[in-house]
Structure 1
Amino acid sequence: MTDQSLLTLTQWLSPAFPLGSFAYSHALELAVTEGVVSDGASLETWLTLTLQKGGGRVDAWLLSMVVQGADVEEMAALAEALAGTRERWHETYEQGAAFARTVAQMGGSQAPARALPVAVGVAARALDLPVKTVISLYLHSFTSNLVSAAVRFVPLGQAVGQTVLSNLHSVIAQVAEEALAATEAGLTTGAFAADLMAARHEDMDVRIFKT
C-alpha cells in the first residue's frame, strides 16, 4: 500500500469530490419525516441495518467483485437490477457518472457512466491498495454522507452525528471483511423498510433531498 494511492482514494471519497452526494439521503428523509429516525440511537440503528442488509451491503459486494476482477459490464447490469426503486438507481447512477467524469477530467482513464460502486471499483483497480481498505473507505464515505443528512434534517448536533459515525466503524469493518468473499450468488438484501421508504419518497409533496 502506498501513501499516494491512499491519498488518491481518500480524495475520490471525500465530501469535496463533486459527486453531489449531499443531495441524496438514501430514503432517510422520509424516515425522519415519519419519526422512524428521530435521534442518535434510531439513526445508528437505521444505518446499521442499511450497512448490513441494504444499500451499503450491495455497494460493498459490487465494489469488491469489481476491484477483484469481475466483468465490469456484468456488474453494471447487476447494480441496475439490484436497485430497488427508480430513486435508488438515479442515486447510484448519477453519482457514478459524476465520479467517472471527474476522474477523467483529472487525467485518469475515460470510462462510461455506471453505478457508483462499479465506477469506483474500476478506478480503484489501478491503486496499490488492499481490497478491504477500498471497501472500508467507500462505506465510510457512504455512511458519513447519511450522517451529515441526518445532522441537517433531524436535526442532530454535530457531536451526536460524529458519535454515531464512530460507533459504526466496527460495522463498516465487518461488512467490508464479509465483502471480500463476495459472489453474485451470495449477494442478497433484506432492508425492506428502507426500500419501501425509498419508493414512497418519490411521491413526497415537499422534498429537500433527491432520494
Structure 2
Amino acid sequence: MDAPSATPTDRAAARLLAVQMLSPAFPTGGFAYAQGLEWAMSQGVVADGAALAEWLRDLLAHGALWSDAVLLSLALRRDADPAALDDLARALCQSAERLTETVEQGAAFARTAAALCGAPSLPAALPATLPATLPVAVGRALGPLPLPPAELIALFLHGQALNLVLAAVRFMPLGQTQGQTVLARLAPDILRAADRAAVATDADLGGCAIGADIAQMRHETMQTRIFRS
C-alpha cells in the first residue's frame, strides 16, 4: 500500500519489482493454462483477434479475471483475512481445472516470492500462512509495496490478459503483432476493472461470464489439448 514515507525512488523500485512479479515470465506455470480459451478456440467461438478481444473484455468485466481482481484488492488490505479469502477464492472456481490453475500458480508464485524477500520494499520474510490461490498469494506478497492498489491490480490483470493472448497466438493463426494489438486495445478495460476492484467489497464478487465458465468445464473432456485449462 502507498505509504507517506515512501520516496519517489522507493516507489520506482517497487514498481519495477511489481512488473517483474506480475509478468507472465514470473515462474508460476501460467503458460500451461488458458482458462477454457482453448476449447473456445477449438470450437471456432474465438477465431480471430476481434473475438479474442471480446472474450477477454468479458472476463475482465464479468468473469474470472474480475473475481481475481476483487480477491487481490481484498488481500492487499491491512485488515485482510488471508485464510477466509483463500477459502472464498477456491469456492468461486467453476471447474476442477480452474481450481487446479489458481492453486498451483499461487503456490509457485509464493515459492518464488519468498526467494525475493529482502528485495527493496519487500519484507524480510513472508507470512508462513501465505495462501495458495493466486490472487490472494499475490496480495499478501505485494501488500507491503508503496504503490496504490489500483496500480498493482492493473499490473496483475495486464499479466493475466497477456498470458491468454500468448495462448491464443500459440493456438490459432494470430500473429505476434496482432496479439500485441489486441492487448494494447484492452488497456482501457484493464484500467477500468482495476479502478473498480480497488474499491470493491466481497459483495462485488461473482460474475456472469457463463460462456467462459462452460468452456472451462468442457475443456476437461477434450481428447487432445495443449493447455491444462
TM-score bin, normalised by smaller chain: over 0.9
Contact 1:100 1:111 in 2 (8 A): no
1:28 aligns with 2:16: no
> What's the CA shift for 1:113?
4.3
From the CA coordinates, give the structure whose radius of gyration is larger.
2
> Any idea what the Cα deviations from partners look like across 1:149-173, whole Å, max 9, x if unmatched?
0011012011110110011000001
Contact 1:51 1:57 in 2 (8 A): yes
Whole-angstrom distance in 1 between the partners of 2:129 and 2:15: 21
AA aligned opposite 2:112: T
Three-state SS of the structure 2 residue aligned to 1:205 is coil
Whole-angstrom distance in 1 between the partners of 2:160 and 2:71: 14
Residue in structure 2 matched with residue 73 of structure 1 by the alignment? 83
Scaled by the length of structure 2, the TM-score of the pair is 0.89
Residue in structure 1 matched with residue 120 of structure 2 by the alignment? none
Count of residues in correspondence between the two structures: 211
Where in structure 1 are there 5+ consecutive unaligned residues?
none
AA aligned opposite 2:83: E
Residue in structure 2 matched with residue 43 of structure 1 by the alignment? 52
Alignment RMSD: 1.2
Alignment equivalent of 2:160, drawn from 131, 139, 142: 142
1:95 aligns with 2:142: no
Contact 1:104 1:111 in 2 (8 A): no
> What's the CA shift for 1:187?
1.4
Scaled by the length of structure 1, the TM-score of the pair is 0.97
> What's the CA shift for 1:105?
2.3
> Any idea what the Cα deviations from partners look like across 1:17-47, whole Å, max 9, x if unmatched?
1111110011000000000001000000101
Stretches (4+) displaced over 3 A: 110-113
Contact 2:86 2:131 in 1 (8 A): no
AA aligned opposite 2:109: F
Alignment equivalent of 1:18, drawn from 19, 27, 49: 27
Matched ranges for 1:45-194 at <5 A? 45-69=54-78, 70-107=80-117, 108-109=125-126, 110-194=128-212
